[in-house]
Structure 1
Amino acid sequence: MSQPSLPTRDSHVAVLAFPFGTHAAPLLAVTRRLASASPSTVFSFFNTTKSNASLFSSSDDEADRPTNIRVHNIPDGVLEGYVFTGRPQEVIELFLDAAPDHFRREIAVAETEVGLKMKCMLTDAFFWFAADMATEMKASWVAFWTGGPNSLTAHLYTDLIRETINIKEVDERMEESLGFISGMEKIRVRDAPEGVVFGELDSVFANMLHKMGLVLPLATAVFINSFEELDPTLTNNLRSKFKRYLNIGPLALLSQRETIVHYPNGCLAWIEKRSPASVAYISFGTVMTPPPGELAAIAEGLESSKVPFVWSLKEKDMVQLPKGFLDRTRDQGIVVPWAPQVELLKHEATGVFVTHCGWNSVLESVSGGVPMICRPFFGDQRLNGRAVEVVWEIGMTITNGVFTKDGFEKCLDRVLVQDDGKKMKGNVKKLKELAHEAVYAKGTSVENFKVLLDAVVNI
């Protein structure tokens, strides 16, 4: 990967990306903004070869990169000839075991190339070991939590939750509130991410997040892709726990790169012909896909309801659709292997987003003013779905947690037609307005970004 020539430089920042899921892309987006705002700072971006290849997939991506961002590949921790055992999260475990040494080695290379020691480590919050690395390097540590404030709170208060909800009794206490934590009054034990108080408490992921929650208060700053007005109580709680807690989003509203381009698949041309607030947009992110029975139920519910739809579904999963579904619904909807999500959620014709409730998706739906039908799978998705349904009242969770034809039809009717849905639409419209205010002029996220910039480059 070609490197730009070095600009005039007065400081050097190490950016450490987590190369799985949708973590690296938002960290790169923030790094781009910081680099543009501080052209005399060199940002060395460390990520695995595979993840970097997906982030910088074309010459356009490289050409758009600010000249003071230098990209470095680090090994993924999988040794040549390694035979996978099939353990869940094995690839993540291998990466995390090797990451501290790989990061140290490549940081030393970058410092030699640039001729400046690192003054700041800007990392994914998952990297609890960055606290020790920053101390060794006499650098500051600034951490990016890519989820929402509710999941960050759950991991920060893991020990308190475990002390209050006896792990041996957790099955009987699933419906109890986490109201002993400010801002979590409407969140139940069952909504917590796996590894906090139930599930595999000693898994690689659970241990990583527990360690993270213990060391994050040491960071110079913790920032998040959200806006203060979305959850003021949690914002105030988290401010009390960190030296600096900064909401700088929604990032989807702040992208400096032009996003209105020619998209394949014809989604935007198709949706232009639909009535306002009539279309169901369906997507479950890049990691999860509902099981075959639920994919069939979604298809049957759509066909029976006659609701217009755009469905983003990987090509390999399209074989699970009922026979003849695509032909029978040709005039009703469109199924594509990829869709421009942010653009679709901004479009006035989109009336509901059927989602897994990953944080980026939830925030993009809020930013577009679109209510949600939630089908969470794992991690923070249940927490986010619960907040959508009972905290912000801007959507609903699918009946009994899984798609059935009749259940999905009822959800579509409730959100798109019934008075309940009109209330959801009104609530999400108010949040949309607050989100847009946060990122314009002297909005809270704009002001917080200035504080973040100062924490990263003015050490």
Structure 2
Amino acid sequence: MTLDSTKTHVAVLAFPFSTHAAPLFAIISRLSSAARNTHFSFFNTSKSNNSIRSSSFKQNVRHNLNVYDVWDGVPEGYEFAGKPQEEIELFMKAAPESFLKSVVAAVVETGREVSCLVTDAFFWFAAEMAEDMGVPWVAFWTAGPASLSTHVYTDTIRNKIGDEGVFINSFQELDPIISNDLNSKFNKYLNVGPFNLISPPPPPPQPPIISKASGCIPWLDKQKVASVAYISFGSVTVPPSDELVALAEALEAISVPFIWSLRDNLKVHLPNGFLEKTKMQGMVIPWAPQSDILRQGAIGAFVTHCGWNSFLESVVGEVPMICRPFFGDQRLNARMIKEVWEIGVRVEGGVFTKSGIMKSLDLVLLQEKGKRMREKMKGLKELAEIAIGPKGSSTENYDTLLDVISKSK
């Protein structure tokens, strides 16, 4: 087959853990709709692809967007030792070779040479891949601008990406000081979000038993405005068992209405009788439609691990946060939430205690300071809506990103 180097072909490499892949697919889907003469190949593990395969996923896969499964790096017959991040380590060890093999196959299948490489910024090896291909590398930073700034100032990212370009799921008005500084560090630093206001990711697949989850929105409709606490720590983070107990005891003691997204296998850590005693007060469900819940006016506080996607969903829902960060960028996000944007609090002592969570819930839900946080949240949402408007900064940056990736090499 003769390869055509005049037609553009964007290879997209996704990081298949946590909530990295879904937002990347969302923006690539939008780009593929706008750049119809450019072909996009999206590479991800089968497990992660399946997690975003839904009706909306199928609708978003167009003639110029192919989705490929890559090896997850787990050898046949491998027995997991139960080490933290074991799956991630296996995947990352195999990723350079696995991705390259799949990209080569896609080039043969499409008849188009790769003209641009778009990847999660976690993939440091993508710099060498792009250099070998003679194409630009455009990195997607899945966290916030403050964490990107931290990495830039340790030279980790800049030494790998160079000063060519990076795009981020944020809007430059969220933190103009950091945005202006990063604009001076990169040839193209592009805030193109929030994605959940522009092109929300496909919802994750619902678990087989969702009867309680499906009833949470009607239940919320019956609650008072800004009176309910929503508790969720994402798809990866699990608080220690003693903190789960403290959180449950605080909810019961303060009698706050709540929705708690907690996997069934973790309910064994809850105090005896908690579920029965609080069945009229709140709901403990194994899966929650988080974006829909946070947009519902009854939610007054979000008890969260401070992941970036959760933060953006909270902004859109105008819900102040009670922060219990665990790792990665979460601690930095929590500090920005409390100290800079003043739209939330960090739990007393950094860990859940009964008294600490009771104080936090009281402050956010019942005190004047909590009301001021909601007002500031509303202001941030308004800035985000302006940014994604027809003449907004994120719209202009999106047009620049579209121009960058749709050019022939």
TM range (shorter): over 0.9
Which residue of 1 is the match for residue 189 of structure 2?
245
The 1:256–1:401 alpha-carbon spacing in structure 2 relative to 1, beyond 3 Å, is closer
Q: Report the Cα offset of residue 216 of structure 1.
A: 2.1
* Alpha-carbon separation, structure 2, partners of 1:83 and 1:272: 46
User: Which residue number in structure 2 is paired with residue 111 of structure 1?
Assistant: 107
| Matched residue, 1:53 | 50
Is the CA contact 2:143–2:308 (under 8 Å) kept in the aligned structure 1?
A: yes
Deviation of 1:298 (Å): 1.0
Deviations 1:17-49 (A, max 9, x none): 111111111111111111111122111111112
CA distance in 2, matches of 1:270, 1:343: 13
Q: TM-score, normalised by structure 1?
A: 0.83
Measure the CA separation in 2 of the matches of 1:304 and 1:41: 58
Cα distance in structure 2, aligned partners of 1:356 and 1:155: 21
How many angstroms does 1:398 deviate by? 0.2
User: Are the structure 2 counterparts of residues 84 and 349 from structure 1 closer, same or farther at C-alpha, using a change threshold of 3 Å?
Assistant: closer
Provide the residue aligned with 1:336 in structure 2.
285
Letter in 2 for 1:242: F
Q: Distance in 1 between matches of 2:37 and 2:127?
A: 25
TM-fit CA distance, 1:242: 0.9
Pairing 1:41–2:20 present: no
Q: Partner of 1:379: helix, strand, or coil?
A: coil
Q: Report how far residue 458 of structure 1 moved.
A: 2.2
Alignment partners' CA distance in 2, 1:258 and 1:146: 16
Matched positions, count: 397
- Give the TM-score taking structure 2 as reference length: 0.92
Q: Cα offset for 1:88? A: 3.7
1:95 alignment partner, one of 91, 95, 110: 91
TM-superposed deviation, 1:419 = 2.1
Per-residue deviation, 1:93: 2.5
Contact 2:22–2:202 (CA under 8 A) maintained in structure 1: no
Deviations 1:168-225 (A, max 9, x none): xxxxxxxxxxxxxxxxxxxxxxxxxxxxxxxxxxxxxxxxxx4x44212343x20001
1:3-22 CA distance string (max 9 Å, x none): xxxxxx93211000111111
The separation in 1 between residues aligned to 2:115 and 2:340, in whole angstroms, is: 40
Paired residue secondary structure (2:162): helix
The 5 Å alignment of 1:13-32 reads 13-32=10-29
Match for residue 184 of structure 1? none
Answer yes or no: is the 8 Å Cα contact 2:43–2:67 preserved in 1.
yes
The secondary structure found in structure 1 opposite 2:75 is: coil
Indicate whether 1:456 and 2:395 are aligned: no
Amino acid at match of 1:41: T
Structure 1 gaps, min length 5: 1-8, 160-209
| Pairing of 1:192-211 with structure 2 (within 5 A) | 210=156
Show the counterpart of 2:363: 414
CA distance in 2, matches of 1:153, 1:349: 35
Q: Does the residue aligned with 2:30 lie in a helix, a strand or coil?
A: helix
- Alignment partners' CA distance in 2, 1:335 and 1:109: 46
Secondary structure class of the residue paired with 2:12: strand
Match for residue 346 of structure 1 among 289, 295, 300: 295
Query: What CA deviation, in whole Å up to 9, does each residue of 1:149-168 have, x standing for no partner?
Result: 11111111125xxxxxxxxx
Q: Distance in 2 between matches of 1:257 and 1:124?
A: 16
Distance 2:151 2:59 in 1: 38
Alpha-carbon distance in structure 2 between the residues aligned to 1:322 and 1:425: 32
Q: Percent identity?
A: 55
Counterpart amino acid of residue 426 in structure 1: E
The equivalent position to 1:281 in structure 2, one of 230, 238, 251, is: 230
Partner Cα separation in structure 2 for residue 311 and residue 405 of structure 1: 16
Structure 2 unaligned spans of 5+? 1-5
Task: Report the counterpart of residue 230 of structure 1 in structure 2.
Answer: 174
Q: 1:367 touches 1:436 (CA, 8 Å); kept in 2?
A: no
Aligned counterpart, 1:188:
none
Q: Distance in 1 between matches of 2:169 and 2:82?
A: 33
Q: Which residue of 2 aligns with 1:215?
A: 160
Q: How many angstroms apart in 2 are the aligned matches of 1:77 and 1:243?
A: 34
Whether the 8 Å CA contact 1:11–1:119 is kept in 2: the answer is: yes
Bigger RCO (CA 8 Å, 6+ sep): 2
Give the Å deviation of 1:84: 4.5
Query: What are the Cα deviations for residues 355-403 of structure 1, in whole angstroms up to 9, with x where unaligned?
Result: 0001111111112111100000111110000000001110000000111
- Report the secondary structure of 1:71's partner residue: strand
Q: Which moved more, 1:15-24 or 1:58-67?
A: 58-67
**1:244, CA displacement in angstroms?**
0.4
The aligned runs of 1:3-402 (5 Å cut-off) are: 10-56=7-53, 58=54, 61-84=57-80, 86-158=82-154, 210=156, 212-219=157-164, 221-255=165-199, 265=213, 266-402=215-351
